Amino acid sequence: MVFLTCIVIVSIFYYLQADGFIYVIIIAVLAELINIFMTQTLTKSIEKRLP
């Protein structure tokens, strides 16, 4: 997931250059939000399995 996101960010930054920086920031923030959400979901799932 992180590797794929990095490839997308680099690609957008390369093709759009000046305007691409805005999109890179947006994609990076969205990726972090998804990462936090998935981590919380995984943590809750593990807590339910523990006695």
What average pLDDT does this structure show over 8-16? 75
* pTM for the structure as a whole: 0.55
**Sign of the torsion formed by the C-alpha atoms of 21, 25, 26 and 27:** positive
- The length of the chain in residues reads 51
Tell me how far CA of residue 25 lies from CA of 9, 12, 22, 49, in angstroms: 9, 11, 5, 37
Tell me how far CA of residue 41 lies from CA of 1, 17, 19, 23, 37, in angstroms: 16, 35, 34, 27, 6
What confidence tens digit (pLDDT) does each residue in 29-49 have?
888 888 889 999 999 988 888
- Helix 20-49 to helix 2-16 angle (10° resolution) is 170
